[in-house]
Amino acid sequence: MLEPGREMDALIAERVIGEPFIDPMDKYFGEPECCPHCGRYCGYDCHYSTDDDAAWRVVRKMVDDGFQAVIAADTGEGIDAYVDFERGFEHSDSLATTFAKAVCVAALRALGVEV
């Protein structure tokens, strides 16, 4: 299974958010730019899979794209988050130890990406 980190963040940026993922190491060093995604000086390196605030942006985008979101927390047995994106009769869910990971895995599965 794909773990949270740069690869998952890049998939989320490209497949869910719909914009290219720009690694800050690929940018030349100069004046920092405010990220259009998260509003911080992150070098356009949004941490969707590890940052809960960034994960909420993924939830909002999925809802804007016609999905319903079902979210539960502290489900027990070491699972801290459950996320399910539904559209019509299809749904894609994820159980994970973090909210951000559960959101990203469920979103990618909903869009047909194997994670």
Contacts within 8 Å (CB) and 24+ apart, 59-68? 59/83, 59/103, 59/107, 61/16, 61/17, 62/16, 62/107, 62/110, 67/110
Q: Are 43 and 35 in contact (CB under 8 A)?
A: yes
Provide the whole-model pTM.
Answer: 0.81
Least confident range of 8-17, 29-38, 68-77, 99-108 = 29-38
Tell me which CATH homologous superfamily contains domain 6-110.
Bacillus phage protein-like (3.30.2120.10)
pLDDT band with cut points at 50, 70 and 90 for residue 10: confident
- Secondary structure (3-state) at 52: helix
Tokens of 92: 């894609």
Question: What does the alpha-carbon distance between residue 93 and residue 115 come to, in Å, rounded to a whole number?
Answer: 12
Is pLDDT of 79 > 80?
no
For 108, other C-beta atoms within 10 Å of its C-beta total 23
The domain limits of the chain are 6-110
